[in-house]
Chain A
Amino acid sequence: MPETYNPQLGREHSYPYEHQEEERDWHWGMIININRCINCNTCSFACKSTWTSGEGEEYMWWMNVETEPYGGYPMGWDMRLLDDLEQDETIFEAAEEGERVKGYVAQKEEWEYPALGDDQVHGEYPTGDVVESDLENDEYHDMWQFYLPRLCNHCKNPACLAACPRKAIYKREEDGIVLLDQERCRGYRKCVKSCPYHKPMYNPETGVSEKPVGCFPRIEEGNVPRCVSSCIGKTRLHGNINRGPDAGHPGGNASAAAGRSPVNYLAKSDEKIALPLYPQFGTRPQVFYMPPYHVPPEFLTQMFTPNTDEKRNDWPGDTFEESIKIVQDRVRNPSHHTLGILQLFGATTRLIETYTVKEHRVKGWDRKGNKVVDMPFEEEMEVREGEMWTNQP
């Protein structure tokens, strides 16, 4: 089986296909700031009403938000796979004889509880003083929970694609979006079984599988996906994850900033602040999460790092638990530059290709080099002269 280098793990591992060089100029990617998510599920409903409101799709939530640690759609999806994997073992390496990928098919009843554990906390009901987080002394609040928005990661090593015996799943050349050709699909459900994030789903009415589409018609028009544009909490930023520091001006327009995309800065720069979900599975997911800074790092190390004793990748710190603590601190106390990028979250429904942060102003340009954001860190207050309507309702 061919080997592929996985930078999230800092090592090579097997992948069923000869890896076609995935370092496109443009690749779909998303940053989610978990600390801002309030579990309103507006994203879930926006996605559902856009993509899965048809017959046979009743149970499908391509976008869902689960409350950690008790939630999970399908129920217990990550527990099950973590339990099956050894340390430092990807789902490709763990595949059994005759299989390409280690996985399991979630049963009907496991899909029945998308809001399982909704808003539930972990920990004993406090009877004495409440323990507040004091990160410098390694103390964490004794009750915790957080909201994890979950969607297709449009992986660079997609397990669904690797597992499909019909080659019905493909990664688009122009933007890396992973699509399923329903004309080719025969409903064998290998993708449903192999995706560790359980996002391909089988439609019993049509007899073929479906998977999230990254809102590709909106991407083609230069807009962000529905889950991003509908987010009321400004938790998300979407864009070109592959646009690095050496990239030129978008659309050849010299008046637009060159260099990194804002999502690339948050996920790939020396000031990395966003981490992939379960990189140890080995699929190179392209949704990156700014972890919750109030949650004990042991849980987050399991969820957002390769979770191995030996740390091989280029993330900060000597161990992955250290990586988590450093990133938590960056999330809690963002640098001026990061704070600027955070203003871009939810600032526009247009897709931001490049940006600048200068003093207390942030600007963004789209792929053609048109300016789509130009705003101060803090909006100025406006006071109108004279006798004006009160601000009362």
Chain B
Amino acid sequence: MHMTYSARHADIVLPVPSWLECEYPDITVGPENPFIHMDHGVMDSLYDTKQDGEAIALVAEKLDEKIPPEERNVDSYRAYFDKFLDDDKDVRDYIQETLDAGMTTRDIDVEDIEDGPERLQLKTYPRIPFYSQINEDRPFYTKTGRMEFHKEEDRFLELGRDDLDHIESPEGTPYGVNKKWDEAKDEENPLYHDEEYQFYYNTPHPKYRTHSSWGMTDWNLIWSSRDFGSTNADPEGTERLVDDFSFPQGEGETEEMPPLGEAFVEMHPEDAANIDVENGDYVRITGKRGDLVVRVMVSERQRPRSAGDMGQLTLWHGWWPQQFPDDEEQGDGVKGYNVTTNIWLDPAQETDDLVHKSVFGDPNISEHVEDDIVWQGAELEHGYEETVWAPTGTNRDDLVEVEKYEEADWWPGDARKDELVQDYIGGSLQGGDS
């Protein structure tokens, strides 16, 4: 737990318990599996927190005092939010109402999911996308009702994107940017130069978390830190890990905690040797938009420059800026893995012409379901839809230059340097003469 940026910029922070501390049940489904689950927490609340419903009711009650009684919309916010208040209130009735209103959950009883996951009432089990369209001649969610590999909307024609094609990256390529391969292959990215120390730079989601959540959690960091190990989770030694993080003894003091863990960029050993960088040293990464200083993990997981074009760097997404060191030579105070990267809006998304299914609801069955099903009457939609047409950060690949910044003040362990390792890998270590 730490002060996130949202919390720092807020005037008021209302602490709520995590899911693990909530006694009341919650239901979950996901697009990847055909089940609905119900779970509840397993531990008492840490500190003095209030559940969401309770926090909202308390705030609403206070705000209500400023409104004359005759002008109030709700007699009692406490009654209005009753189902969500405190642990001793039972939310099962509300969950049942929710289940009853869903096309895929209407025959499920809340008691059933208390005993374990239940199958959603989907067309097929397991879940096979577009089963009805392929096997029962139902329309796809397009203007023509067919799968459209060719788009005749004006925007696509204008951009020459009416047919499916590979488009080169908007930035992370030595070839022509943002063009079909036929054109791109004969051009050169103006950022590209065939000299040393230029790299592809990418920022993928890391292995043990998705975004920045858990990015300062000790167990997570110990494993995420790979070759840098616990020492990276805990630069000052185990005592700090114990006192500040594992077993916080504080009684709500607001003193700002130093960040736990340090970001790193992975670089192939050949490329690291070229710029005289050893495992754990610092480099400055400079791109079109900015620069950052970060520690290098020498790693054969990366593609070396000798394999063609440029070397590859990977710096995981989701580190907090506090986990990067300051650039003491040219610090502009801006740091983090994404200072060099860009969010790019594909111009093909700048249109209201496209027909698509809304996120919720299924137009193919919307006339067949009863009135009390919540998505009854759902139709195809036009234009903007978050998660369908919104800009995203998916094109965060980049060309950068790298220079050595500083030598490390500690070096992590490295099993590859053990003199026994070659015999070990070759299977001849035991009984050998090493």
A280 to B432, CA, bound (A): 15
Kindly state whether residue B205 has any CB partner on chain A within 8 Å: no
Verify if A75 is at the interface (C-beta below 8 Å from B).
yes
Shortest Cβ distance from residue B396 to the other chain A in the assembled complex, whole angstroms: 21
Interface contact A383-B124, CB-CB below 8 Å: yes
- Is A381 located at the chain interface by the 8 A CB criterion? yes
Taking a contact as CB atoms under 8 Å apart, the answer to whether A391 and B300 are in contact is: no
Question: Is B69 in contact with chain A by the CB < 8 A criterion?
Answer: no
A126-B300 Cα distance, complex, nearest whole Å: 12
Interface 1/0s, chain A 323-334, versus B by CB < 8 A? 000000000000
Is B307 a contact of A117 with CB atoms below 8 Å? no
Within 8 A of A (CB), among B365-420: 365, 368, 412-413, 415-416, 418, 420
Residues of A within 8 A of B412 (CB): 113
| B241 interface hit (Cβ, 8 Å) | yes
Partner of B431, one of A85, A118, A119: A85
Nearest A residue (CB) for B31? A393
Which stretch in B169-177, B183-191, B226-234 binds the other chain? Answer: B226-234
Say which residue of A82, A127, A379, A392 sits within 8 Å of B129 (CB atoms).
A392
B427 in contact with A79 (CB, 8 Å): no
What sequence of 0s and 1s flags, for each residue 280-292 of chain B, a beta carbon within 8 Å of any chain A beta carbon?
Answer: 0000000000000
Roughly how many angstroms separate A387 CA and B241 CA in the complex, as a whole number? 57
Q: How far is the CB of A98 from chain B (nearest CB, A)?
A: 24
- Point out which of A40, A76, A393 has the most chain B C-beta atoms below 10 A from its C-beta: A393
Interface segment among A171-179, A252-260, A296-304, A361-369: the answer is A296-304
Q: Please, how many residues of chain B have a CB less than 8 angstroms from a CB on the other chain?
A: 69
Contact for A75 among B226, B242, B413, CB less than 8 A:
B413
* Residues from 276 to 331 in B contacting A, C-beta threshold 8 Å: 299-301, 303-304, 306-307
Residues from chain A with Cβ under 8 Å of B418 in the complex: 76, 79
**Beta-carbon contact of A390 and B238 below 8 Å:** no
Q: Are A384 and B230 within 8 A (Cβ)?
A: no
Residues on B with C-beta less than 8 A from A125 are 268, 300, 303-304, 306-307
Q: Is the CB of A391 within 8 A of B307?
A: no
| Contact status B121-A389, CB under 8 Å | yes
Q: Establish whether residues A58 and B415, one from each chain, have CB atoms under 8 Å apart when the complex forms.
A: no
Q: Which residues of A contact B31 (CB under 8 A)?
A: 392-393
Does chain B have a CB within 8 A of A69? yes
Find residues 148-194 in chain A having any chain B CB closer than 8 Å to their own CB: none
- The listed residue (A118, A296, A379, A387) touching B226 by CB distance below 8 A is A118
Contact pick for B229, options A83, A112, A298, A384, CB 8 Å: A112
A82 close to B124 (CB less than 8 A) = no
Q: How far is the CA of A191 from the CA of B424 in the complex (A)?
A: 25
| A58 near B124: Cβ-Cβ < 8 Å | no
Closest B residue by C-beta to A307? B430
Known A121-B301, A299-B426, A391-B131; judge A55-B242 contact (CB<8 A): yes
B126 lies within 8 A of A381 (CB): yes
CA distance A120 to B242 in the complex (A): 30
Asked if B207 lies at the interface with its beta carbon under 8 angstroms from chain A, I say: yes
Instruction: Check B415–A76 contact: CB distance below 8 A.
Output: yes
- Residues A59 and B431 in contact in the complex (CB < 8 Å), given A70-B415, A127-B306, A391-B130: no
A290 to chain B, nearest CB (A): 19
Chain A, residues 80-108, CB within 8 Å of chain B (1/0): the string is 10110111110000000000000000000
Identify which of B120, B226, B424, B427 contacts A301 (C-beta below 8 A). B427
Within 8 Å of chain A (Cβ to Cβ): is B96? no
Contact A114 B229 (CB under 8 A): yes
**B127 within 8 Å of A by Cβ?**
yes
Query: Are A392 and B362 interface neighbours, CB within 8 A?
Result: yes
**Cβ contact within 8 Å between B430 and A116:** no
Is the CB of B36 closer than 8 A to any CB of chain A? no
| Complex Cα gap A87–B241 (Å) | 43
Which residues of A pack against B, CB within 8 Å? Answer: 40-41, 44-45, 48, 55, 58-59, 69-72, 75-76, 78-80, 82-83, 85-89, 109-122, 125-127, 280, 296, 298-302, 307, 379, 381-384, 386-393
Q: Which residues of B contact A (CB under 8 A)?
A: 31, 103-104, 120-132, 135, 141, 207-208, 218-219, 222-231, 238, 241-242, 246-247, 268, 299-301, 303-304, 306-307, 357, 359, 362, 364-365, 368, 412-413, 415-416, 418, 420-421, 423-432, 434
Give me 30 A-to-B residue pairs in the complex whose CB atoms sit less than 8 angstroms apart, sorted by A's number.
A58-B230, A58-B241, A75-B413, A75-B415, A83-B423, A83-B430, A87-B431, A88-B431, A112-B413, A114-B230, A116-B415, A117-B415, A118-B226, A119-B207, A120-B299, A122-B425, A125-B303, A298-B426, A298-B428, A300-B427, A301-B427, A302-B430, A387-B364, A387-B368, A390-B130, A390-B131, A390-B362, A390-B365, A391-B124, A391-B131
